[in-house]
Structure 1
Amino acid sequence: MDDFLTERQKQVLDFVCEFHQRRGIAPTHLEIRRRFGYRSYGTVHKHLKLLRQKGYLRGGWNQKRGLELTEKTLRGRRPPANSVPFHGRIAAGRPIEAVPGVDDLPVPEHLLEGGPAGRHYVLEVEGDSMIDDGICDGDLVVIAERDQAQSGQVVVALIDDEATLKRYFPEGDSIRLQPANREMEPLYVAADRLRLQGIVVGLMRRY
């Protein structure tokens, strides 16, 4: 198939790429529809289908935020990367001890809050408790080291020296750690048992 893009197809592809660059994940069909003012999802599906057929996108049929950029699209769009420490795996589904790491990973500069001079590290997600936020098993999350967070941010929290990845909601003398999975219940932890290790500022997915 001819890989020529119409002006609107190019605009949709640029939006998907820019969204992915800013947030590390793909936009949903709803976000694409709202961005371009489409009245129905049919127009979104049509453009995405053609972009897949022309080799610019893949995936995304039934999975939320499942759109993936192909090598054809990524070629020439890769931003400069910085070397960031890899600290191992963290369970997004249950608290486990974070694994100390010795390796560094290349991380695009736009995913580093405050630029490359900030203190960051990378963790590999294990489990599916954050899947509704587009954070899937095997994803790499970029963490900015923080000992404080705003309500609703995705954080790395230590509970009695075991680490977990959840959304953070202070509620009086306790903290609600909320999974992004409708089949899972939140964790309630006394504030004095919890230590924040950082907030999620970026996400990378291996293809």
Structure 2
Amino acid sequence: MLEELTSREEAILRVIKESVHQKGYPPSVREIGQKVGLRSSSTVHSYLRRLEEKGVIRRDPTKPRAIEVLGSESREQPDTFNWVPVLGRVAAGAPVLAVENREAFFPLPIEFTGQGEFFMLTVKGESMIDVGIFDGDLVIVKKQATAINGEIVVALLEDESTVKRFIKEKDHIKLKPENKNMTPIITREAKILGKVVGLLRKM
């Protein structure tokens, strides 16, 4: 029986599998680090060593990219999940800095998220309560740089992020709260980080 993996180990394993599936060969240590938010190559090597010790992968020390995934048949359909990083917090109110922190990963079924690249942020504030997004919720965000009018997005304003309804007007962008007691943010420029596609809440 294979030893249970941590969320970070699962994320690294998925990066390896996706690279082999899409490109035909494993990712480099640097590529793995970029995908899972690890800046240190030695830390990535440490995780790879743990995966090897757990019998999940096998490496050839004479070749830099020689990583073979083992026991995939006995693992419980790992490719049916997206391991989504929790990056920090996002304001449902005045914009706040979204602190990137990829220590946490959350498995979400692909049949729920669909294909694509996703991240999650913890909501802070009450500007979206009229559409059921509350303080402390985790919003699931699909990465994309554009939005259609009416979509709920995570937008970046001068290095600070906020979750609002996106409305593009003739000469400006309106980031509209869903709280009748709050006023919209009017701006000429806003970087779209992604579209909110779902949320999780602790009961």
What interval of TM-score do these two structures reach, taking the shorter chain for normalisation?
0.5 to 0.7
The 5 A counterparts of 1:16-55 are none
Please name the residue that 1:13 is paired with.
Answer: none
The 5 A counterparts of 1:133-144 are 133-144=131-142
How much has 1:173 moved relative to structure 2?
1.9
2:194 pairs with 1:198: yes
Return the letter of the residue paired with 1:157.
A
How much has 1:81 moved relative to structure 2?
4.6
Contact kept, 8 Å, 1:87 with 1:100, in 2: the verdict is: yes
Please name the residue that 1:168 is paired with.
Answer: 166
Whole-Å separation in 2 of the counterparts to 1:180 and 1:111: 25
Contact kept, 8 Å, 1:142 with 1:201, in 2: the verdict is: yes
Please name the residue that 2:181 is paired with.
Answer: 183
4+ runs deviating over 4 angstroms: none
RMSD: 1.3
Between the two proteins, the alignment pairs up a number of residues equal to 123
How big is each residue's C-alpha offset from its partner over 1:45-102, in whole Å with a ceiling of 9 and x where there is no partner?
A: xxxxxxxxxxxxxxxxxxxxxxxxxxxxxxxxxxx65311111111111101111011
Among all aligned residue pairs of Structure 1 and Structure 2, give the percentage whose two residues are the same amino acid.
Answer: 44
Whole-Å separation in 2 of the counterparts to 1:204 and 1:108: 13
Contact kept, 8 Å, 1:93 with 1:126, in 2: the verdict is: yes
How much has 1:110 moved relative to structure 2?
3.7
Please name the residue that 2:90 is paired with.
Answer: 90
Whole-Å separation in 1 of the counterparts to 2:162 and 2:131: 15
How much has 1:111 moved relative to structure 2?
3.4
How much has 1:109 moved relative to structure 2?
2.9
2:141 pairs with 1:132: no
Return the letter of the residue paired with 2:175.
L
Q: Which runs of no fewer than 5 residues in structure 1 stay unpaired?
A: 1-79
* TM-score, L = length of structure 2: 0.58
Whole-Å separation in 2 of the counterparts to 1:147 and 1:97: 18
Residues 180/126 of structure 1: CA separation in 2 closer, same or farther (3 Å cut): same
Residues 111/202 of structure 1: CA separation in 2 closer, same or farther (3 Å cut): farther
Whole-Å separation in 2 of the counterparts to 1:107 and 1:90: 20
Structure 2 SS opposite 1:132: helix
How much has 1:170 moved relative to structure 2?
0.3
Please name the residue that 2:144 is paired with.
Answer: 146
How big is each residue's C-alpha offset from its partner over 1:23-63, in whole Å with a ceiling of 9 and x where there is no partner?
A: xxxxxxxxxxxxxxxxxxxxxxxxxxxxxxxxxxxxxxxxx
Return the letter of the residue paired with 1:199.
K
Whole-Å separation in 2 of the counterparts to 1:124 and 1:111: 19
Please name the residue that 1:64 is paired with.
Answer: none
